[in-house]
């Protein structure tokens, strides 16, 4: 059964298609009307198409006799039934099963020629107007181009989804770009990793030890380091990572790596930093981000403000002796207000219930009295909404504050076009990574006061760097820490236990006369988590809490108590059915009504890493899904669906800046590698009205005891306090 044969027939239907590598199982009807199973990389083939396939017969132990395709040549359908299936498959945008029937009924076997050469005639079909014709024609031509790219890539084991992304990025030049420098894919297309680009490169004839491959490997190894939060990699450790990545003999590759480093250095692609006989390397854009932050902070501190001078004595007196009806502040809050007014840059930090929002409200009232302009912003939409609700003043996300220009693919506000304001107040500043911090500081006018509000005991930013902590550690910026828990917050177990965890103490279950807003469910067996979740969600109505305002926060994504497994379960529990056809991608089913999260910054759509929304519609004809993010709706093409994940459960890291009426936090020893005090503290502080902690006492104790965390390799503190330079 191993002799090569050639079969010709029509694809009847697709049984299975792997979203990542394009491996497909299809039913093909051959010329003698018999059907057979064909398998292979056939993502460019659609039901209704006629194909000639070259391959061998195999006997599958479970599914029986199959034809394993080694080569496939697709032809346009030549029968009415084939055309209906082909056009109704959703392959061409604007045509689904209904319009496929209408088009074939009107034009018969000439329908594809009409679409390609006489598209104006499509208006003869009821329901098809100029806009739909434009979409159909564009979809038809796109598909022809994508098919050629798919064939090229799938011969090299690359997925059909990436082929679509590549075509959207490079258009008609896609194959030329791939052949010229396949490593460009890593930088240009989100989701394409080094391994994928390397596979294409090697099959295109780029040598294992080629200097191009080694340079790309070094750049990728640095990027992997940054994905872990660091901005710099120790030079020798980076060399080892690069050798492992390229899977080459260290003795053979050593001189090539040395040459590649020199090439990248002279091309100003990388920067080298030497500190106490240690050598660190980073990509130039990372170095200039940190260095740019330090330089702007120095300039802000050195530049004389043009803002009207405050009557410092009068402000201080009003804080010390508030009038009836005024907000009474404790001494730390008073010091914080004075720091904001007296210093060009200031930081206010403190945990929940310590009065950060109260301080901001009082600061804003003083600014109003003195006719100072101000802007409020936060890294995420949820955080901006919280500060707006807390102060009664308009707040926006940092990305909207900076404004994004689609033509230049840059922020509108920068050094040449600064934000117009006297005071810029940023909440949840611990979430700001070094790149967003740099963009923000570039846009701050030299005359303005800059105030950062945040909780430095939370997890560091999802993105790279350690901006707020480095700023505080430098001792170059006025910093006030709020430590006193306000009386009205002392009866909340959520707040009390957050502070207990932060001090290294185990949570308590009761406060005399206090709220019953914190529940600890002891559970030794992680496999019972779904039973607990089912019970909790059934009882939420008794707390007057909606399921849509409840989040399950988990330390990690993988495993029996990871976000992936819990999301699959909660989807079936909370959104079991949908009248619309679901969308399946990479083993995940997306349905109308599902809660989803954006997992990358997408400036085209103005949705950002961590934004959550709800799927409103799925259109198989248009190959789009619409997600409601609260303030607006965003359309995703099917090829972009990998930017979304289910968000009934999310990692604790991804929950930063958000608050939920109720949070459910499973903590087990299977999360051992990530159990840290700031992780548990961050999770508890996401709760507004109810926090349910589920898990093993031992696992929670491990997290509380572990206060070390991962020290991110950054140099912002040194840039602010010394003349450290790259070389």
Per residue in 29-64, pLDDT (tens digit) is 886 678 899 998 776 677 878 888 888 998 888 888
What is the three-class DSSP state of 207? Answer: coil
pLDDT for 608: 86
pLDDT for 18: 66
Q: How are beta strands 278-283 and 233-234 bridged, if at all? A: antiparallel
pLDDT per position as a tens digit, 663-693: 999 999 998 888 999 999 999 999 999 999 9
Q: Which residue has the higher pLDDT, 130 or 46?
A: 130
Cβ atoms 43, 160 nearer than 8 A: yes
- Mean pLDDT to the nearest integer, 5-27: 79
Alpha-carbon dihedral of residues 667, 671, 672, 673, nearest 10 degrees? -140
pLDDT for 204: 84
pLDDT for 139: 83
Percent of the chain with pLDDT over 90: 52
Q: Flag whether pLDDT at 92 surpasses 90.
A: no
68 Cα distance to chain centroid? 38
pLDDT for 365: 92
Grade residue 595 by pLDDT with cuts at 50, 70 and 90. very high
Q: Flag whether pLDDT at 96 surpasses 70.
A: yes
Please classify residue 129 by burial: count the beta carbons closer than 10 Å to its beta carbon, then call 0-12 exposed, 13-18 middle and 19+ buried: exposed
Q: How many CB atoms lie within 10 A of CB 588?
A: 20
Grade residue 157 by pLDDT with cuts at 50, 70 and 90. low
Measured CA angle at 656 (ends 652, 661), to 5 deg: 85
Of 34-38, 275-279, 535-539, the range with the highest mean pLDDT is 535-539
Q: Flag whether pLDDT at 466 surpasses 90.
A: yes
Grade residue 290 by pLDDT with cuts at 50, 70 and 90. very high
- Mean pLDDT to the nearest integer, 524-553: 94
Cα 112 to Cα 136: distance, rounded to the nearest angstrom? 11
Q: Flag whether pLDDT at 480 surpasses 90.
A: yes
Q: Flag whether pLDDT at 647 surpasses 80.
A: yes
Q: Flag whether pLDDT at 1 surpasses 60.
A: no
Q: Flag whether pLDDT at 417 surpasses 90.
A: yes
Q: Flag whether pLDDT at 519 surpasses 70.
A: yes
pLDDT per position as a tens digit, 227-259: 888 999 999 999 999 999 999 888 888 899 999
pLDDT for 398: 93
Q: Which residue has the higher pLDDT, 584 or 136?
A: 136
Q: Which two tokens stand for residue 705?
A: 């005891």
Asked whether the whole model's pTM tops 0.85, one would answer no
Cα 92 to Cα 103: distance, rounded to the nearest angstrom? 13
Grade residue 151 by pLDDT with cuts at 50, 70 and 90. low
Ramachandran quadrant class, 628 (left: phi over 0; alpha: psi -120 to 50; beta: rest): beta
pLDDT for 344: 93
What φ, ψ does residue 687 adopt, rounded to 5°? -90, 135
The enclosing H or E element of 616 equals strand 612-619
Grade residue 634 by pLDDT with cuts at 50, 70 and 90. very high
Question: Which residue is it, tokens 């594809």?
Answer: 112
pLDDT for 154: 61
Range with the poorest average pLDDT among 323-327, 445-449, 503-507: 323-327
541 Cα distance to chain centroid? 31
Q: What is the DSSP letter of 109?
A: G
Cα 408 to Cα 289: distance, rounded to the nearest angstrom? 19
532 Cα distance to chain centroid? 29
Grade residue 359 by pLDDT with cuts at 50, 70 and 90. very high
Measured CA angle at 717 (ends 306, 684), to 5 deg: 95
pLDDT for 161: 66
Contacts of 314 (CB under 8 A, 6+ apart): none
Q: Average pLDDT of the chain?
A: 88
pLDDT for 152: 74
Q: Flag whether pLDDT at 487 surpasses 80.
A: no
């Amino acid at each position: 059964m191993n002799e090569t044969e050639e079969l010709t027939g029509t694809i009847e239907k697709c049984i299975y298609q792997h979203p990542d590598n394009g491996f497909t199982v299809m039913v093909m009807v051959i010329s003698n009307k018999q059907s057979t199973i064909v398998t292979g990389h056939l993502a460019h083939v659609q039901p209704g198409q006629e194909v000639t396939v070259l391959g061998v017969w195999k006997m599958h132990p479970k599914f029986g006799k199959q034809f394993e395709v080694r080569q496939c040549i697709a032809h346009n359908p030549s029968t009415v039934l084939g055309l209906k299936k082909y056009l109704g498959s959703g392959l061409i945008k604007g045509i689904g099963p209904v319009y496929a029937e209408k088009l074939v009924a009107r034009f018969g076997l000439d329908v594809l020629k009409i679409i390609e050469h006489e598209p104006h005639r499509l208006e003869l079909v009821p329901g098809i107007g100029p806009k739909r014709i434009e979409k159909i024609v564009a979809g038809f031509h796109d598909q022809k181009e994508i098919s050629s790219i798919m064939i090229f890539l799938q011969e090299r084991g690359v997925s059909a989804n990436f082929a679509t992304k590549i075509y959207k990025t490079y258009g008609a030049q896609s194959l030329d770009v791939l052949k010229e420098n396949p490593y460009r894919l890593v930088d240009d297309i989100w989701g394409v990793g080094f391994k994928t680009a390397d596979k294409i490169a090697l099959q295109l004839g780029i040598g294992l030890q080629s200097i191009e491959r080694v340079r790309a490997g070094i750049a990728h190894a640095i990027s992997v380091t940054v994905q872990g939060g660091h901005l710099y990699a120790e030079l020798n450790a980076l060399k080892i990572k690069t050798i492992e990545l390229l899977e080459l003999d260290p003795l053979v590759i050593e001189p090539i790596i040395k040459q590649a480093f020199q090439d990248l250095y002279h091309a100003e692609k990388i920067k080298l930093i030497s500190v106490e006989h240690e050598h660190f390397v980073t990509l130039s854009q990372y170095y200039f981000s940190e260095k740019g932050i330090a330089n702007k902070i120095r300039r802000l501190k050195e530049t004389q403000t043009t803002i009207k001078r405050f009557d410092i004595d009068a402000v201080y007196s009003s804080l010390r002796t508030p009038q009836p009806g005024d907000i009474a502040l404790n001494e730390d809050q008073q010091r914080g207000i004075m720091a904001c007014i007296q210093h060009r840059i200031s930081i206010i930090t403190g945990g929940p219930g310590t009065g950060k929002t109260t301080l901001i409200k009082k600061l804003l009232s003083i600014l109003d009295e003195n006719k100072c302009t101000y802007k409020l912003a936060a890294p995420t939409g949820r955080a901006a909404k919280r500060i707006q609700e807390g102060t009664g003043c308009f707040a926006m996300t940092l990305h909207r504050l900076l404004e994004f220009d689609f033509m230049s693919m840059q922020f509108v506000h920068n050094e040449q076009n600064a934000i117009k304001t006297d005071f810029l107040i940023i909440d949840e500043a611990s979430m700001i990574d070094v790149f967003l911090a740099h963009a923000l500081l570039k846009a701050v006018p030299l005359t303005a006061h800059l105030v950062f509000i945040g909780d430095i005991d939370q997890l560091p930013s999802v993105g790279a760097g350690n901006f707020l902590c480095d700023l505080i550690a430098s001792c170059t910026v006025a910093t006030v820490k709020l430590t006193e828990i306000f009386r009205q917050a002392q009866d909340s177990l959520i707040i009390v236990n957050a502070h207990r965890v932060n001090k290294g103490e185990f949570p308590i279950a009761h406060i005399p006369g206090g709220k019953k807003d914190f529940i600890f469910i002891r559970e030794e067996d992680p496999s019972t988590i779904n039973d607990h979740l089912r019970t909790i969600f059934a009882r939420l109505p008794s707390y007057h809490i909606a399921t849509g305002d409840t989040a399950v926060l988990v330390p990690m994504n993988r495993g029996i108590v990871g976000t992936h497994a819990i999301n699959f379960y909660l989807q079936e529990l909370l959104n079991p059915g949908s009248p619309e056809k679901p969308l399946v991608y990479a083993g995940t089913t997306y349905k109308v009504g599902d809660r989803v999260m954006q997992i990358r910054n997408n400036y085209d759509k103005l949705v950002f890493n961590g934004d959550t929304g709800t799927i409103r519609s799925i259109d198989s004809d248009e190959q789009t899904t619409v997600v409601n993010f609260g303030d607006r709706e965003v359309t995703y093409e099917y090829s972009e669906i990998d930017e979304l994940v289910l968000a009934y459960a999310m990692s604790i890291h991804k929950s930063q800046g958000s608050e939920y009426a109720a949070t459910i936090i499973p903590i087990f020893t299977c999360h051992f590698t990530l159990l840290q005090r700031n992780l548990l503290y961050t999770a508890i502080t996401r709760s507004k009205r109810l926090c349910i902690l589920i898990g093993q006492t031992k696992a929670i104790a491990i997290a509380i005891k572990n206060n070390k965390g991962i020290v991110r390799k950054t140099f912002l503190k040194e840039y602010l306090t010394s003349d450290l330079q790259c070389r």
